[in-house]
Every structure is written in C-alpha cells, then in structure tokens.
Structure 1
Amino acid sequence: MSRRFDLADEDVLVVIGSGPGGATLASVLTQAGKKVVMLEAGPWLAKEDFVNDEREAQRLLGWNDLRTTSGTWQLGNDFPGSPANMVKAVGGTTLIWTGLTPRFKAHEFAARTTYGEISGTSIADWPIGLPDLIAHYAEAERRLGVSHRHGRRPLPANNNYKVFAAGAERVGYRHFATGPYATNVDPYDGRPGTVQDGFNFQGDRQGSKWSPLVSEIPRAIATGNLDLRANSHAFSIEQGENGRVTGVAYLDGSGAVQFQRARAVAVAGNAIETPRLLLLSTSRRSPAGLGNHSDQVGRHYTRHVSGNVFARFERPVNFHRGESMAGIIADESRHDPHRAFAGGYYLELIALGPIAFARFAQPHGWGREFAEMMEHYSHTAGIWISGEDMSQATNRITLGDRVDQHGLPVPNVHYDDHPADVAMREDAYTKSRALYGAVDAASVSTAPPTPSGHNLGTARMSAHPDDGVVDRWGRVHGVPNLFVSDGSVFTTSAAANPTLTIVALALRQAAWLLQQSTL
C-alpha cells in the first residue's frame, strides 16, 4: 500500500491522473525523495481483476462517464457518447493500449516550417525539437522494455502479421516489422515474457505489457514517497492571489469534498479531462479557467487520421491470436510535398475481438453483408491507420450544457475533418487495398474511425503564451507551479502512436523540475 500524507501538507506535489505521463513523473520524483500525492478518478485494480470478456472489460475499465459531441465527423454520429477510448482506473489508458512505440520524426516537431501555411489549420512548430528528446526517448524505451531497441529481441510474428508483411513486401514497402513494441518477448524488469494471448484491449492479466500499474507505480510506492488515492475525482485547482496554485479540490470515494494543499500540481488526465479540469478551475485571476487567458485551453484537439481496413481470405487467419497490434509499416510516414496532404501515416496491424469487430467494422451494420462479415471472422486480417491530424483551432473541448453524476459540466468534444485528413485517409485506404490485393484477398472492406485512444493537443506547448497553454517544460504560461504532463501538450499530433513521446516528455519534465530550487 502507498503512504498517506496529510491534506494540509504544503510540501507535496499533486499529480492528477495515473497514466503514462503522470505515473512516469511521479516515479522519477519519488525516487529523488520528493513527496507525491496522486489523484486517480478510477479504482485501483490488480491485473488479476482483468477479464478476457469485451463487454465486462469495458464496464470495468472504460471511462464511461457522460460526454457529448458536435461537429461533422462521422464518429460523432456513430458513437456520440463515447468519442474517445479511455480508461478510468489506476494506470490510465495504457491498461488497454496495444504497445506500438515509434518515435516522432524531426520534421514533425517543425510542422509549420516544414509544411508551410495550410488554410484552415492551426499547425505550429513545437518550441522543442528532436534533439531535446533523443536521450529521453532512449530512457523511455529502456523503461518500457521496447522490442527492436537496445538489443532487445523482436516479437515473433503471428498469422495476421505474416499476411501483412507478405503484402507489404509484394507492393514494394521496405520498412516493416513487428515493433518497436512495449510488450516483453523475454522476462524483463520484473515482468514475464508474453504468452501471446491476444487480449490487449481488455487488460493484460500476464503483466508482460508495460503499464504504470505494473511498472512505474509499484516503483514509486517502494520509495515510501507516493500517496496514491484511487476513486478521487479532481474538480478544481485553486489559485492564490500571487498567481501560484495552492492545491486541488476533489471528491473522494464516498463523494465527500476534500482539499489537498500542494507545492505544485501536475495535470495528467488525458486531452479531454485535462482541459475540462483547467476550464473548471476559475478564480479572480483566471476567470476563464487556468491557463486560458488567450482562449487556448481545449483548442487544437487532434486524434490522428485513422480508419480500419479488413480483408477476408479463403484460408483461416485467426487474427485474434497473438499480440493485437504487433506490426507496423513506416514507409508512408514520411512527408512528401507532392501528395495531397501534409505529413505522413503508419499502417499498423489490428485485431479486434468479435464484439468490437461487429461494433466497429460496420457501425449500425445489419443484414446479409454484416452476417457474412461475422461468419468469416476467423478468415479476417486487419490494418489500422495512424496519420498526422491537421490541428484546427475550432476542434476543441468545451464545457457542455449537461452535467455528470457529480453535477459537473461534461466535456463536449467538437471535431471536423480537414480536407487534408480526408485525403490522407483515402490514400491509406487505397494503399491498404493494394497490399491485401497483392496477397490474393477474397475481399477488402474499409471501416470509419473508431473511438480514439490518441487524444492530443488541447493544452498545447508554445513558445509564446498567446499561442498555447504550456511552455517548453510543460509549465502553464503565467502559473509558475502548475504543469501538464500528458498528450494534451502536443503542439501537433505527428503520425506516431503517442505513448512513448508522452513518457519521454514526462522524463524531461521531471529532470527539469528536480533542478528547480523553488519547487
């Protein structure tokens, strides 16, 4: 069990959220002797609590609180109450992540410079570049135990990957592999090697996949410097007259209001809940919400250009066996100014359980075509698209008119596709059809984007306070002891799956914080 600090202890750093950013920050700080209180809105589950049952896993792990949507995106019509795929439990969304960990490319930190002005977008350069993260990327890969890196073996290929790789080779792709992937091939860092059970989306009962639940949080607890409070929903960060934040108000497991004083606060609630909390945290100094003096909190929401491609074969593939996403093609992740879109995309392996397959492959599907799709489940292979999403200031998180079970305004997620996003998705669909056609697929179908686990950009990093919410260290502009430590800080989405970069940024932020005598 974790240590307990007093609510009046002004020497603690409060971290809100226990996902990859918050947990990594807490792990580093506690190992350096700092006292940390971590507030997590969901329960503290053990890996033995996970079930290989899709419906029960969603009930147990999902962030199922009410949300609303607006905008013209198809996802808003298909899944209006659940546009994001997030976890409400200790460990955050990494409990159901798949594990792919590509790094950002150098040009993706300089999107505005590289791509030029793109009408209708709010793309900007990051105030940091790839050289600022190189060492932290390497440390993050070692912490996560990433395959294909630092001498670690690649994951063995499952049937889904063998189909994927054969098609990639036949169409001329050169850069494809089963990783980098943050699931152990061999025992590492106290975690066993994978048994390839294929249930990544329901939680990893084996503990071979990296998540804060099995890595960073136990490490922080062992120091005696972490006070982890599960079922604790933060609803306001209080700010003093001198501009510094003084603590966090939250609802504990019984529904009682508590207030934890703090030396500093780091928000790591994901790119929907983080801006929601900042907007809820109003004061005389910050009447529109903390960090929102220039109306930037919640804006520039990105979720990656995505979509699914499924192919049916005459012989069984059994794509549900093995690691769900252990395959990636990087050839299309380049920026090519001759294409009808900026940035690039990855083609990644995907496998869904039968319930998720029925839900996402044909939203609202019914009839003969849908029945045939389900009948051929065992003969199906799958690709998921992850591409750079063009930032738009109008794509944003706001406080909605409805309230949740706590009486708090729910977040509204507004999103419209940019024409460049549509062009990228169509290009990826075309390339995926060609890949499966090259290995004699009996049929190929496309499916629209699903609720996203890649929610980014709503408290973006900027050199100037008028252009974003946090500075190059993740510190909120104008609030010297308030930080954001999750994917909200992404200035642009890039094409890569975000978890490795979230961890690298948290490591960089932690190292900087430890150098600051005032904190």
Structure 2
Amino acid sequence: MHSLSKWAVLSALATWLQLSIAAPAEHQPRAAAASCNLSNKETWDYIVVGSGPGGLTMADRLSEAGHKVLLLEKGPPSTGRWGGTMKAPWLQNTNLTRFDVPGLCNQIWADRNGIACTDYDQLAGCVLGGGVAINSGLYWKPHPDDWNMSFPPGWKDDDMKTAVDKVFTRLPGTMYPSRDGKLYLPQGYNMLSAGLTQGGWKSIDANVQNDQRNRTFSHTIYYFADGERHGPLATYLVTANARKNFAFWTGAGVKRVVRTGSKVTGVEVECGGSSGVINVTPNTGRVIVSAGTFGSAKILWRSGIGPTDVLNTVKSSSDGSSMISSDQWINLPVGYNLYDHVGTDLEVAHSSVVNYDFYGAWSRPIQSDSQLYLNSRSGILAQSAPNFGPMFWDIVTPADGINRHFHWQARVEGSRSTSMTLTQYLGTGSVSRGRLTINNQLKTIVSQSPYLNDANDKAAVIQGVQNLRDALSKVSGLTWVRPTASQTSTAFVNSIPSNPGSRNSNHWIGTNRMGADDGRVSGGKAVVDLNTKVYGTDNLFVVDASIFPGHITSNPTAAILAVAEQAAIKILAL
C-alpha cells in the first residue's frame, strides 16, 4: 500500500469540505423521495424530467433562484440517503444500498433487474441519479479541446471555466476513496505507471494539469467521498431538497410533453398503471428534459418532435391515438449525431498484479474487508470495482490533420488471475457518427453504429494502440494477451467488429445536438439552440449529454455537470 502523500492530505481536505455540505448516508436520516402523485394539481415554474447529473444540477440551480421546481424520475430510489432498498446481503440492517458501496458497482453487469431501463437496446440506469448511481464514479476535469473542438460559441473553454470551477468546488473528487487515505492493491497501478515512465510518459495530477493530456498518466479520480458513492446525489440533490419550493417524485415516467404548437403546457406522466398531466405555471412555466441520450430523444419523438420517418413509427405504435396531430409536428434531426466513446480493449498479464473478487463480494465478501468497510468506510470495497488505475492519455493526428484525443483506463480484470484490461477510449476529434431510432414497440434502437465509420478515426485508433505497445515494451515479464505479441496493431483493431456489442463504452451522447444551425432549415443539424431551447418551441429545453455536438475525452459526468451549470445561467437569463 502507498503511504499518505500530499495528494492524500489534499484529498482528505476535499472530503472534509464535501462532508460540511452533506453527511454520508449512514450518518444522515433518510429523506425518502415522494412517490408519483397524479392527483396533485399544483403547477410548477419548472418541471425537470430525469435525475441524472444534468437534471440534478438543473433542479438545484433553478430552485436556488427561487423558482418552484418539480423533478421527475421514472425509476426507484437508489442510494440509502434517499430511501433506496436494494442491498447486498451483508448490508442488511444498515442505511447503505448496493449503490452506496463503490466496490459493488460492477454488480450491475451481473444483476440489473429493477435498475436498467428496459425500453432501450443499450444499458442505461433508470433509478434516482441515472448513470451517476450505477457507474464507476470516474471523474476528472475536461481538457480545453473538449470544449474548443466540439462545442459552439458561448460554450468554449474560456466560456466554461466558471461552470467547471463551480462543479469542482462542489465536487472536488479524490484519488484516495478509502477513508483512511490508502490505496489498496495498487500493484497493477505501480507496474503500469513504472512502464509508462520508462516509455517516456509523464505523471500528472489530472485535475490540476488538465491541459496536459498527451503521453501522460495519473491516479484515477472519483467523485466518491468518505468511502461512499457521494457525487451529485449527495450534493446537488441535498441542497435542492432542503428548499420548500422543490419537490421530486420517483416512479414517475414522462410519456411526452403536452404542447399546442410551440407552447408547452405540461408533461404527461405514467406511474402505477395510470397516467395524468402535470402542468407548468401558465405563460411563464418551462420544461427541462434531462432524461439522457436515449430518454430525451424518446420523449421528443413521442411529443411530435423529430424526423418524419421516426414520428410515423411512433404514430403506428400504441401512442398513435393520443399523439399530437401531424400538422403540429416539428421536423428536427432528433436521433442523428449519435456517438459513444469507441472502446478498444487490450489485455496484459504480469506476475505482480493481484486480482480481487468484487463479484464474490456481493454475497460472500471476505469478512475482514466487509467489516473494515462497515466500521470505517475503508479498504478495497471503498474503491471502485474492478480496481482502476492508472488512467492515461495520448493524442494522435491522422492524415486529415484533426487531432484525436485518447483516454486509456486500466483495471484489474481479464482472462487470467494476473490480467489487466487496458481500454482505449476515442473521444475528442472523432468524426464518426451513428443514428438512434425507435421501433413500434417504443424501444429505442441504435440503428446506425457510430463506431469507426471514418477511415481516419480507425487509423488513429490503430496508431494509439501501437503507441501504448511501444511505451510498455520495456516492462520486464509483461505478457501481451490481446493483441498477442505476434499480431500487428492493424490486424488487431481490424479484428474487432465496429458495433455496440464489441465497442460499447456506454458513454452515449449527441442525439439532440446543440448548435446555431436550426435543424428545421435545410442543412441544419441542431435540435437545440445555444441556450439549449428546442428549436420551434417557446419553453422546452434539453440539458444532458444528448446535446453534446461531439464527444469529449474527459469523463462525461464532469462535463455534463458543467454543461448544466452553464445552461442554468443561460436559461434563467431568458
């Protein structure tokens, strides 16, 4: 184990600052979410649809400004703080759920019943918090190019600095998630970081030197605090929920926004087998859709907003009799511009690597580990499964002259007990795109794969793989499992199908692209304008990863939070 360093001290200070805002779930009384109440005939200044990072931030900032806000989540509560009940057996008689314990996050791949959305063909979280309740908690500041290469005027790096600072003041992040400030089972990190150093790569603090993301590496950073998941659910939602002008309901699925022409008057909600309409304040009320890349697109389609072919599919579904009439449809490219980080998994093995059975920790944890976690929020279970680190970056420029930014994430898992999987994520600079559509059972479908349908994107991926192989070539005793030592990087990349089953990173973005080019006009590609308002509407907005024009190399959570901070300023100023 590493001894305490200056980063551990800083991390401990950051944790203390977070705890001054909101105590961990085990030490705070439950604040259970209200169930959907369709008999409630109140009107609301803002209805926010979806409780992912975008929705939580918007709900907090809008209620902070004095507006009456209702947040709707179609799934159940998640963390113990909010009355969640899904637990591993050894968490019974505690106020902790499977979502609170970082070391149990990978259980989503073994058991997602009651957690994953059932109306999408890809994995997404339909629980309070959305993705930030089920993911690995990875979290670091965006690179300046993430904004400058992908986002429109008003959303460039200089424009976003204040928003990013707000996010990282609220959620500083930590490299040392265990409460005792130690890193557990760091052998894999030590081996790879030493190898990268030998290969000429440089160690950085990713949240301080966030503009240095080329041949650099860092400890993994998380939005955890005090050994628990923490994040937006323990910050933005806590402060919003303390206000009398805020309410939130779980089990409240939004079918569509209710509108007449360009004016939205409310949302149609389904819960408990019934449906009803919740209205916004007449004349001034607004709806913010923050249901994610799949969910937000689906709500717009069911509201008569999107390409004609998709709207006709919705019209032929069970929605047909209640769908808004076709003369009020708004033709926008909803579902186009779909993108995901291109995931390419490499695997190495080394005798120094120590594997930990995180899946076994669900029902048969090592008693000393579970007790260390329960008694002091420390140990391997306070770290995200399956033991991440290091994370590292590279920039490759293929023949078209556009820089491609790569983020790499190492984790201790693979085909051998001493394996590590090294995943390359292609983000900023990529130009490949796909399309999301819907079938007449109202299930969203990735109908056009977004992975490597541009030759220069693929060339950059191949070069990035080769760059890493070269960097680690001096590590004594390192075995290449995938690709094998005799396989070329080109042959390896070409052997992996470019489809969601093989490339999926579950970092989906882009279906409601933001831009100044109104998508109703020939050649226009944008669904929302530079204030995040849906073109052709007066009071309907989208704020989540679906509005990203292109992908970023940073972890999506931090960028979504920053986008929501910026969007709140713009929307409140309208």
TM-score class, shorter-chain normalisation, is: 0.7 to 0.9
Provide Cα deviations, 1:259-312, integer angstroms capped at 9, x if missing partner.
11121111111111111111111289x997699845411101110122222211
Alpha-carbon shift at residue 313 of structure 1 (Å): 1.4
Letter in 1 for 2:200: G
The answer for the alignment partner of 1:415 in structure 2 is: 449
Cα 1:282–1:64 change in 2 (3 A) is: closer
Q: Is it true that 1:160 corresponds to 2:188 in the alignment?
A: yes
- Distance in 2 (alpha carbons) for counterparts of 1:133 and 1:55: 33
- Distance in 2 (alpha carbons) for counterparts of 1:100 and 1:155: 18
Cα 1:515–1:95 change in 2 (3 A) is: same
Matches within 5 A, 1:42-121: 42-47=75-80, 48-50=96-98, 52=104, 54=107, 58-60=111-113, 62-67=115-120, 81=121, 84-111=122-149
Q: Is it true that 1:178 corresponds to 2:219 in the alignment?
A: yes
- Distance in 2 (alpha carbons) for counterparts of 1:171 and 1:487: 35
- Distance in 2 (alpha carbons) for counterparts of 1:56 and 1:128: 35
Letter in 2 for 1:346: H
- Distance in 1 (alpha carbons) for counterparts of 2:401 and 2:572: 45
Cα 1:176–1:223 change in 2 (3 A) is: same
Letter in 2 for 1:486: D
Letter in 1 for 2:461: R
Cα 1:501–1:283 change in 2 (3 A) is: closer
Cα 1:478–1:124 change in 2 (3 A) is: same
1:223 equivalent among 243, 246, 250? 243
Identity of aligned residues (%): 21
- Distance in 1 (alpha carbons) for counterparts of 2:151 and 2:250: 37
The answer for the alignment partner of 2:508 in structure 1 is: 455
The answer for the alignment partner of 2:300 in structure 1 is: 278
Cα 1:30–1:142 change in 2 (3 A) is: same
Structure 2 runs not aligned, ≥5 long: 1-31, 81-95, 203-215, 312-323, 359-379, 484-491, 497-501, 519-523
1:308 equivalent among 339, 345, 358? 345
CA contact (8 A) 1:145 1:210 kept: no
Q: Is it true that 1:258 corresponds to 2:276 in the alignment?
A: yes
TM-score normalized by the length of structure 2: 0.68
- Distance in 2 (alpha carbons) for counterparts of 1:164 and 1:339: 32
Alpha-carbon shift at residue 55 of structure 1 (Å): 6.1
Letter in 2 for 1:422: K
CA contact (8 A) 1:306 1:425 kept: no
Provide Cα deviations, 1:399-441, integer angstroms capped at 9, x if missing partner.
124x1xxxx3444442143223322332233233334443231
CA contact (8 A) 1:341 1:423 kept: no
Matches within 5 A, 1:275-424: 275-282=297-304, 293-318=330-355, 321=380, 322-323=383-384, 324-330=387-393, 332=394, 334=395, 336=397, 342-352=403-413, 373=415, 376-377=416-417, 379-388=418-427, 390-392=430-432, 395-401=434-440, 403=441, 408-416=442-450, 417-418=452-453, 419-424=455-460
Tell me the secondary structure at the aligned position of residue 456 of structure 1.
coil
Tell me the secondary structure at the aligned position of residue 342 of structure 2.
coil
The answer for the alignment partner of 2:561 in structure 1 is: 503
Cα 1:430–1:154 change in 2 (3 A) is: farther
Alpha-carbon shift at residue 18 of structure 1 (Å): 0.4
Higher RCO (C-alpha under 8 Å, 6+ residues apart)? 1
CA contact (8 A) 2:336 2:511 kept: yes
The answer for the alignment partner of 2:549 in structure 1 is: 491
CA contact (8 A) 1:110 1:124 kept: yes
The answer for the alignment partner of 1:15 in structure 2 is: 48
The answer for the alignment partner of 1:142 in structure 2 is: 169
- Distance in 1 (alpha carbons) for counterparts of 2:529 and 2:292: 18
Structure 1 runs not aligned, ≥5 long: 68-80, 112-122, 185-191, 195-206, 358-372
The answer for the alignment partner of 1:464 in structure 2 is: 517
Alpha-carbon shift at residue 162 of structure 1 (Å): 1.4
Cα 1:454–1:287 change in 2 (3 A) is: closer
The structure with the larger Rg is 2
CA contact (8 A) 1:36 1:225 kept: yes
Q: How well do the aligned residues superpose, as a CA RMSD in angstroms? A: 3.3
- Distance in 2 (alpha carbons) for counterparts of 1:433 and 1:255: 55
Provide Cα deviations, 1:4-49, integer angstroms capped at 9, x if missing partner.
7974333331111101010011112222322211111211133423
CA contact (8 A) 1:20 1:211 kept: no
Provide Cα deviations, 1:193-226, integer angstroms capped at 9, x if missing partner.
x3xxxxxxxxxxxx2x343333222221111333
TM-score normalized by the length of structure 1: 0.75
Cα 1:58–1:128 change in 2 (3 A) is: same
Cα 1:317–1:173 change in 2 (3 A) is: same
The answer for the alignment partner of 1:365 in structure 2 is: none
Alpha-carbon shift at residue 238 of structure 1 (Å): 1.3
Tell me the secondary structure at the aligned position of residue 47 of structure 2.
strand
- Distance in 2 (alpha carbons) for counterparts of 1:329 and 1:501: 18
Letter in 2 for 1:247: G
Q: Is it true that 1:38 corresponds to 2:71 in the alignment?
A: yes
- Aligned residue pairs: how many? 434
The answer for the alignment partner of 1:77 in structure 2 is: none
